[in-house]
Amino acid sequence: MFREPYLRERQTMTMWRLSLLPVLWLSTSAVLPAAEPARPNVLVIITDDQRWDALSCAGHPFLKTPHIDRLAHEGARFLNAFVTTSLCSPSRASMLSGLYAHRHGILNNFTDYPRDLPSYPRRLQEIGYETAYIGKWHMGEQEDQPRPGFDFWMSHKGQGNYFDNEFNINGQRTIIKGYYTHVVTDYAVNWLRKPRQKPFCLILGHKAPHGGPIVPEPKYEQIFDNQTITRPATADDYTGKPDWLKQCRFTWHGIGGP
């Protein structure tokens, strides 16, 4: 006589508790903060004055670029990209600012990047990224001081040298022995390996394969001796022409003088 009401009461309580669970889950999930989306790390590697087709992954007949090929095979190659102002400094400024040269105002290789001009590293730094610039900056010839937007700075004046280059590291100048490519790469790798709690943005600017003249590592000095290197159809031919013509062209380009 007493057992049946007791069972009905237990069943009622159980159903009530089960029906309450979704309500409790909904109410608690409504107040829990949403998980913050992971912020990606950013690594930009720049080679200097390298043609788009000077890569083995682009079908070059004798150049071997295995590490760049791996990046291309595991990522994406942009086959419909163009340079609007094919000089070093204007191109570098466009990559940093996202602006065309006629907007950012750097039209030759002697104009420094304005310190009040926004850049994506500065914006990333403002939202909590740890930022670094290592290697060739080459916007302006006489200035090597740290630029806004970078927590770590390692660069130099103008073109720099392939061997034993002087670098400005966070405001202190020092000559670092060795070949440029290895020096900046080693510094970049060491910076990347540093423990950190923040996402990072690193720009690594190589000097190679920029000419004027090209100075290879000794082990590569004779690697292309048996190759025929064909000049592109667009290359200027100054054979038999006066030096002043060549100098005028270079001046117009902001290469030989402002």
For the chain, what are the domain ranges?
42-252
Beta strands, E only, the chain: 42-46, 130-135, 152-155, 163-169, 172-179, 200-205
pLDDT tens readout for residues 172-211: 999 999 999 999 999 999 999 999 999 999 999 999 999 8
* Catalytic hit among 104, 138, 156, 206: 138
Tell me how far apart the alpha carbons of residues 96 and 148 are, in angstroms, rounded to a whole number: 12
Q: Is residue 104 among the annotated active site residues?
A: no
Q: What is the DSSP letter of 162?
A: S
pLDDT confidence tier of residue 233, bands split at 50, 70 and 90: confident
Positive or negative CA dihedral for 96, 99, 101, 105? negative
190: tokens are 């060491």
Q: Render 55-111 in DSSP notation, one character per residue.
A: SGGGT-SS---HHHHHHHHHS---TT---SS-SHHHHHHHHHH---HHHH---SSSP
Tell me how far apart the alpha carbons of residues 154 and 168 are, in angstroms, rounded to a whole number: 5
Does domain 42-252 fall under CATH 3.40.720.10? My reply is yes
pLDDT tens readout for residues 134-177: 999 999 888 899 999 999 999 999 999 999 999 999 999 999 99
Placement of tokens 């590697």 in the chain: 45
Q: Is residue 88 among the annotated active site residues?
A: yes
Strand partners, 134: 154, 204
